[in-house]
């Protein structure tokens, strides 16, 4: 994959011929239009009513085919099944198979393949570290490694956040854990007409190895031959993938200083069913190590010779771990982005019955993923300060939460 248009077009032509390369050009143009139609109005927005959707951008999105099905829409531009997969599998990030996802979710393929993927030198942790440093320079007092055990309330307001060893009085509180923890802390769950449908989960093997494989880029996707049945297993039948599609990441391809000389970092991510429909957290205790061995055997079979014996140090993360960290349905990917759980229909960032609590993070709007979660923080800040994100607040210590119509509570 190349993010630069000419380089990618040449690659598609080499791989699948000139007609597909022309299709790629058209697809790229469509992805750019789709992103422009969606970003401000549907993603970077605090929703207070579905009626807010009724804007000229909605008509623009409809005209672009955003409400059709993703795989069919990609298929209008590309005939080669292998290429179609490259530009449609991303809907799984949002927890929905390409055959059922709204075409609007091609916006993820836009971010992945057109806007591009960046890796901070020093590893992913360098990004939150830089943000924490900036916040500290601006006067924030950050306290790490402490569990919030409860919130103190007075009527409809949260008055303090309590950890094991301190009580921090507050004017307003922004809660970022997944929804089960948020609801436990608030002492109430909202009424919802339908049960939340959760995204599939993942097993991740982080491995320090004494060798690597030159064909591995920073990110490598190894698709199985199976496709629709794989999504069925992950989202309907709750079985482990019988012909797995795997993500292999090699951070040391970009930043070799992350490992000692002569050593390499890899992680293998295998999507798996969440614990609502698949094996439960207890079952993963025994299943996890067996599944790890099976994934490494499969990678050996796909040409990564000696991968199992190259592992010197490892951490295995399974749905049991996500469950243990308070994630609903044992998945770190939260509520799936079905139509009924997106935009104004996703759990809101305001909390009914509590006047000064706001949610941020992947369980609320706009949704799952690093860019969207960062936006959720911006949207939460706008609720607290009463300013739109475009006009940063000048006031301090103002604790009312404000909706876009300006009605503060």
Ligand X SMILES: Cc1cc2nc3c(=O)[nH]c(=O)nc-3n(C[C@H](O)[C@H](O)[C@H](O)COP(=O)(O)OP(=O)(O)OC[C@H]3O[C@@H](n4cnc5c(N)ncnc54)[C@H](O)[C@@H]3O)c2cc1C
Which one of residues 362, 382, 384, 402 is an interface residue with ligand X (CB under 6 A)? 362
With CB under 6 A as the contact rule, the residue among 294, 326, 344, 404 that binds ligand X is 326
Residue 332 found at the interface with ligand X (CB under 6 A): yes
- Interface stretch with ligand X, choices 79-87, 287-295, 346-354, 367-375 (CB under 6 A): 367-375
Stretch that binds ligand X, among 9-17, 173-181, 378-386, 396-404 (CB under 6 A): 173-181
Is residue 233 within 8 A of residue 128, CB to CB? The reply is no
Cα–Cα distance between 326 and 292 in angstroms, integer? Answer: 23
Question: Interacting stretch for ligand X, rule CB under 6 A, among 9-17, 57-65, 174-182, 222-230?
Answer: 174-182
Residue 370 interacting with ligand X (CB under 6 A): yes
Among residues 52, 176, 222, 254, which is the contact residue for ligand X, using CB under 6 A?
A: 176
User: For 125, phi and psi rounded to 5 degrees?
Assistant: -65, -20
ω into 164 cis (within 30 of 0): no
Smallest separation (angstroms) from ligand X to the CB of 360: 7
> First vs last Cα of the chain: how many Å apart?
48
Dist CA 384 CA 79 (whole Å)? 48
- Nearest Cα neighbor of 45 from 390, 333, 408, 398 is 390
Classify 65 as helix, strand or coil.
coil
Among 98, 177, 273, 330, binds ligand X (CB under 6 A): 177
CB of 118 to ligand X, least distance (A): 11
**DSSP helix/strand/coil, 294:** helix
List all residues 6 or more positions away from 301 whose beta carbon is below 8 Å from its beta carbon. Answer: none
Per-residue b/e over 105-143, b at no fewer than 16 CB within 10 Å?
Answer: bbbbbbbbbbeeeebeeebeeeeeeeeeeeeeeeeeeee
- Altogether, the residues listed in the chain come to a count of 409
Task: State yes or no: residue 123 binds ligand X (CB under 6 A).
Answer: no
Beta bridge partners of 247: 221, 269
Q: How many Å apart are CA 248 and CA 258, to the nearest integer?
A: 17
The residue nearest ligand X at its CB is: 361
Interface positions, 1-20, toward ligand X (CB under 6 A): none
Query: Judged by CB under 6 A, which stretch of 4-12, 83-91, 251-259, 364-372 contacts ligand X?
Result: 364-372
Alpha-carbon gap, residue 409 to 398, rounded angstroms? 12
Q: Closest separation between CB of residue 154 and ligand X, Å?
A: 21
Cα torsion for 270, 271, 276, 281, to the nearest 10°? 20
β strands within 40-147, DSSP E: none
User: Considering only 11-19, 58-66, 80-88, 175-183, which stretch makes contact with ligand X by CB under 6 A?
Assistant: 175-183
Q: Which of 12, 181, 329, 359 binds ligand X (CB under 6 A)?
A: 181
Q: Which is nearer to ligand X, 148 or 381 (CB)?
A: 148
Point out which span in 5-13, 253-261, 281-289, 370-378 binds ligand X (CB under 6 A): 370-378
Please report whether residue 270 would count as binding ligand X according to CB under 6 A: no
Among 148, 226, 283, 400, binds ligand X (CB under 6 A): 148
Residue 131 in the binding site for ligand X (CB under 6 A): no
65 or 98: CB nearest ligand X: 98
For residue 291, give the nearest of 205, 210, 228 by alpha carbon.
Answer: 205
CA distances from 60 to 41, 45, 346 (A): 11, 17, 22
User: Which of residues 199, 268, 269, 380 is near ligand X by CB under 6 A?
Assistant: 269
Residue 207 makes contact with ligand X by CB under 6 A: no
In the complex, minimum distance from the CB of residue 315 to ligand X, in angstroms, rounded to a whole number = 12
**What is the binding site for ligand X (CB under 6 A)?**
147-148, 176-177, 181, 202, 204, 269, 326, 332, 361-362, 368-371, 373
């Amino acid at each position: 994959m190349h993010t630069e248009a000419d380089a990618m077009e040449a690659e598609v032509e080499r791989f699948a011929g000139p007609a597909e390369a022309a299709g790629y050009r058209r697809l790229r143009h469509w992805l750019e239009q789709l992103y422009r139609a969606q970003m401000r109005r549907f993603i970077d927005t605090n929703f207070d009513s579905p009626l807010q959707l009724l804007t000229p951008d909605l008509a623009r999105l409809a005209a672009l085919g955003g409400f059709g099905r993703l795989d069919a829409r990609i298929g209008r531009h590309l005939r080669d099944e292998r290429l179609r997969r490259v530009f449609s599998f991303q809907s799984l990030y949002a927890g929905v198979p390409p055959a059922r996802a709204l075409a609007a979710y091609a916006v993820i393929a836009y971010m992945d393949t057109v806007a591009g993927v960046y890796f901070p030198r020093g590893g992913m942790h360098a990004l939150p570290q830089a943000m924490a440093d900036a916040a500290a320079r601006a006067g924030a007092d950050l306290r790490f490694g402490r569990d919030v055990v409860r919130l103190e309330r007075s009527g409809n307001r949260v008055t303090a956040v309590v950890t094991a060893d301190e009580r921090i009085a507050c004017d307003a509180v922004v809660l970022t854990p997944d929804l089960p923890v948020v609801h436990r802390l608030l002492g109430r769950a909202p009424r919802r007409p339908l049960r939340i449908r959760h995204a599939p989960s993942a097993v991740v093997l982080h491995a320090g190895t004494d060798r690597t494989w030159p064909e591995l880029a920073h990110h490598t996707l190894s698709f199985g031959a199976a496709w629709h049945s794989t999504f069925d297993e992950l989202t309907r039948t709750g079985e482990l993938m019988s012909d797995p599609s795997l993500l292999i990441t090699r951070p040391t391809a970009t930043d070799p200083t992350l490992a000692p000389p002569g050593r390499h970092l890899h992680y293998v991510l295998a999507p798996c069913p969440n614990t609502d429909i698949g094996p439960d957290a207890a079952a993963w205790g025994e299943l996890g190590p067996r599944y790890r061995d099976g994934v490494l055997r499969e990678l050996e079979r796909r040409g990564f010779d000696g991968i199992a014996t190259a592992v010197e140090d490892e951490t295995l993360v399974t749905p049991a771990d996500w469950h243990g960290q308070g994630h609903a349905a044992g998945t770190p990917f939260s509520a799936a982005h079905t139509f009924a759980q997106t935009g104004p229909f996703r759990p809101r960032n305001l909390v009914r019955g509590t006047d000064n609590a706001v949610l941020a993070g992947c369980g609320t709007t706009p949704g799952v993923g690093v860019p969207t979660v960062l936006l959720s923080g911006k949207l939460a800040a706008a609720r607290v300060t009463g300013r739109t994100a475009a006009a940063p607040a000048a006031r301090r210590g103002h604790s009312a939460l404000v909706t876009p119509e300006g009605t503060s509570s």
